[in-house]
Structure formats: structure tokens, C-alpha cells
Structure 1
Amino acid sequence: MWSGGWIGWKDVPIFHRDRMFERFQKYYQWEDEEKHSIHSCWERCIKGKFPNLLGKARKFAKARALKKGIEVGKDWSVTIPFKPQWISQDSWEELVKVWSTGSWQDKSSQNSKNREKATGGRHTVGSKSFITVRKEMDHTFKRRAKFGEFWLQTHAKKGSRPLDKLPVCSELADVDLVEVDDVEDINQEKNVDWVDTRAGEAYESYKKLIVKKYGDDISLHPEFDMELWSSVAGGTKKRRLYGTSNITDPYVVLTGAPAKPNTDSFPSARSNKVQQLEEKIDEFEQEKVAELERGKVEKQAMLEKIEENARLFAEMNEKLQLLSRN
């Protein structure tokens, strides 16, 4: 459904966004009262995937160009014949023009440098969401994956992750359901190759705090302590908690279960009033954006109508002149 030179989600007109969501609704069902929250989540998801999607498109075109012996430098116009199949030629050419500008290349270079300076926050789930990985682990284990297993699976490199140690193929799509409750080495944390230092340090710090708070007896330890993890992770930043992506309830991601009703251990267990206020703010912002987009569409339609009327007037004037000559 890609039909424009869209560099980011903000460039996609409201009309096209609505078309995409309508297509999405054909595959799923939900209660009417859930539509607003689902639409907001869907839009956040697509907005977040936009840069990665275009990055893959550039890599694809660049790889095909190199196979033909064509070097891709700052001038991306050489990739015009090598577009991905899912995007139209006109849209691809529009994108190529933007990618070839100095302003876009400077911004891209700066973003790359910023990512290199990042001190942590990496994971090993690829394009999958944390929720998807957790569901796959629960399905494979035939039980809810423990926090330690989930953290190792999402933040340890290949070979030291729990699912890599199963006596079957490590690809989740080919894994047979197996009982792993009694497998002693499934969750061995020795010689773990972490994806970055922050992942290992946060996990080790959390384990030490758990022992300090609840004692050495593991049977007395809770399934998960959100308050301790929040302190280890440094709290929320831009409504996100380290290790939980941008989901509303981090407890669901880290434990696979909704937060306990009486818990006051994490700031995200906010009152319904605060959540309702945030939803109203999001809805208000969406309405304002929609109004601006409608205004643009109406303005464009008016200009097109004026141009059409001018063309018809010119044709009529030309015919009148011919008649007067005759």
C-alpha cells in the first residue's frame, strides 16, 4: 500500500493511513470500545518501523547495484533501476531525490554517530516485538517463561540464550514443544555473552537487590519486582522503561502477566484518570492533525478545480475565436 515518497510516518496523508488501518481491521476483531487504543498502538508501531523499513530498502537497492558493478555514493540516483518490488517507481524516485540531498545525508550521518555513542539499550530480538518473543517462549516451554529466561533470550547473543540450549533446532518456527522445567542447563547464566555491557550489569544488579531484599531462599523470591527493576534500569525515559520497548504496561512484557491490582511498585501503574487524560490528549492531537490534513486535501482539491475551470475557459475561448474567424 506504499504509494508516495514518504520519508517518515508524518509524511503519510491521513487518507492513506485510514486505508492501511482498514486493511489491518480485515484480519482481526475486537470490541468497539477498544478501537481507539488499538488504533493508537498500531500507529505507534508503524511509526517506529518506518526508518528500519526504508533502511532495508536502501540496503536492498545498494546490494543489487553493487552486483551490477555500480558503486553507490552520495548520489542515490544510480539505484533508481534497483527498487524493491513493494514500492512504485514514482515513489522510489521521490525517495531517491531526498536521499541524495546534502541535508538528509548530514542528518543520517549524525544519527549514525549518535547510535555508535549509545551506551546500552540493544537487544537480540531483531524485528520481532518483545511480546512476540515472550509468546513464542511460552509456547515452546509450555509454561510462562521466567524473567531470567526472557532476559537472557532477548539480551544474550546466539549460543548462550535459553532456546539455543534446547535439544532441538533453535529456530522457533521449527521447535517441537518440549518440557523444559526439569532441564538443568536451560537457564545457566555462566559464560553468557551479553549483547552489551548494560544488559549484563542491569541483570546482575537486579539479582543482587532481590537477594538483599528477600533473602537467599529462592522460594521466597517473587516472580518479579518492578520497583527494583525500575531502580536498576534508571526509571522511565520518554514513557519507556529499559527492556520493555514502548508498551503501556512494562510488567506484561517482563513477566507475561498483567500487573497486580494492588501493586504500587512502579509509576506506570497509574490511576485510570491519568490514563484517560493521556488518551484524551492523544485523541485531541490526532484530531488536530486530521484537521490539518483535511485542510490540505481541501485546498489541493480547490486548486485543482480552479486549474480545471481555467483550462475549460481557455478551450471555450479558443473555440469562440475560431467561430468568430469563420
Structure 2
Amino acid sequence: MKLGRELTTHEMWKQSHCRKGSRPLDKDLSNSLVSEDDSEGSFEEENLNWVDDRAKETWVNYNGYVVEKYGEEHSELDKDSWSRAVGGVKRGKLYGLSNVSGTRVHVRQDPEIEKLNLVIKELVKEKEDEKERLNGIIAELVAEKEKDKAEKDAMLDRMTNIEAMLKSIVQ
């Protein structure tokens, strides 16, 4: 089936968590193109046959939070509202988002992890500062080496000139 566009969050959830035949897009399986009017807007919520109570409850909660936050017109996934609707991250996962690509959600709930992240950032900053300081020292040493080389070359030139003068005097 081709929609001619990407599925909205609402369509994706209903298609993947309602039983076959009650899903909003099932009635249009025979059509090659689904219009905007035929998708979720005109399909009655009470006709949906959810796969389980959690799927329905999650949808009702999420939809309520999104309507509260944005009003009726919002089709993008709101990760904060979703996290709130499903009760947050459990065992490192956020319920229902495993089938939605590009929705990695990182919710930091542990203050100890946040403290450790701050310590890591401070250590990284200190190491970067130390690296800059050492690069400065290296640059100074390279400049000093070049200066010494130039002085050595000048000294060799003078010695060559003195040697040439002594040879001419001796002859």
C-alpha cells in the first residue's frame, strides 16, 4: 500500500497496535493510494480493536498529553509526551518505540549518572587544556630548535670564511 507520504505517529501506532481489520488504513488496502481524508481523521476511535489494554491506554494517555500541549493538529512524535504516557524508561527502554526508526530516547533519571557525566566533562576539559599547554611547549621547542639551527648554520659560515682567510694568508 502506498500512502504517497510517511506515516504519522498516530497512524503508525494504530497500524501496529490494533487488530487487523479495525486499523485505520486496513479499509484502504485495496486502493493503491490513500488520501489524507481516508487516513486517521475520518476513522472512528471506537472502531479500533486494540491488541491489548496497555496499547490502548498508552495511546489514550499520549494523545491526551499531545492535545494538551499542541492542540488537535500535531502529527510528529513528541518524545517527552510519549515518555510521560508510558511511565518513563524501564530497564533502559521506552515502551513502544522499538519499531519507530530514529527515535532513540535518552532519559537521564539517575542523578548519580548526571554527576559522573559532569566529572567526565571536567576531566575531558582538563585534558584538552593540558594538550593545548603541551602543544604550546612543543611549538616553543620547535622554534628554539630552528633558531639554534640558524645560529649553527651562521657559525659554520663564519668558520668557513675564517678557514678561507687563513688559507689565503698561509699561501
TM-score, normalised via structure 2 length: 0.53
Inter-CA distance 182–204: structure 2 relative to 1 (3 Å threshold): same
Q: CA RMSD in A?
A: 2.9
- The within-5 A match list for 1:120-139 is none
Quick check: 1:224 aligned with 2:80? no
| SS at structure 1 position matched to 2:47 | coil
Aligned to 1:290: none
Summarize the Cα distance change of 1:190–1:227 in structure 2 as closer, same or farther, 3 Å threshold.
Answer: same
TM-score (norm 1): 0.29
Aligned pair count? 108
Structure 1 equivalent of residue 90 of structure 2:
237
Aligned to 1:206: 62
- In the TM superposition, residue 151 of structure 1 has moved relative to its aligned partner by 0.7
1:239 Cα deviation after fit: 2.4
List runs of 5+ in structure 1 lacking aligned partners: 1-138, 169-175, 248-252, 260-265, 275-326
- Three-state SS of the structure 2 residue aligned to 1:152 is helix
Where does structure 1 differ by over 3 angstroms across 4 or more consecutive aligned residues?
A: 184-188
Instruction: Determine the structure 1 residue equivalent to 2:32.
Output: 177
Percent identity reads: 37
Unpaired segments ≥5 residues, structure 2: 109-116, 118-171
Paired residues for 1:148-297 under 5 Å? 148-166=10-28, 168=30, 177-183=32-38, 187-215=43-71, 218-219=72-73, 221=74, 223-245=76-98, 253=100, 258=102, 266-267=105-106
Q: Distance in 1 between matches of 2:82 and 2:69?
A: 13
Distance 2:89 2:52 in 1: 20
Secondary structure of the equivalent of 1:162? coil
CA contact (8 A) 1:149 1:187 kept: no
1:65-144 mapped onto 2 (5 Å cutoff) = 140-144=2-6
1:283-326 deviation per Cα after TM superposition (whole angstroms, max 9, x unaligned): xxxxxxxxxxxxxxxxxxxxxxxxxxxxxxxxxxxxxxxxxxxx
Shift in Å at residue 201 of structure 1? Answer: 0.8
Q: Give the match's secondary structure for 1:145.
A: coil
Q: Which SS does the other structure have where 1:190 is aligned?
A: helix
Give the greater-gyration-radius structure (CA). Answer: 2
Q: Is the 8 A contact 2:86 2:95 kept in 1?
A: yes
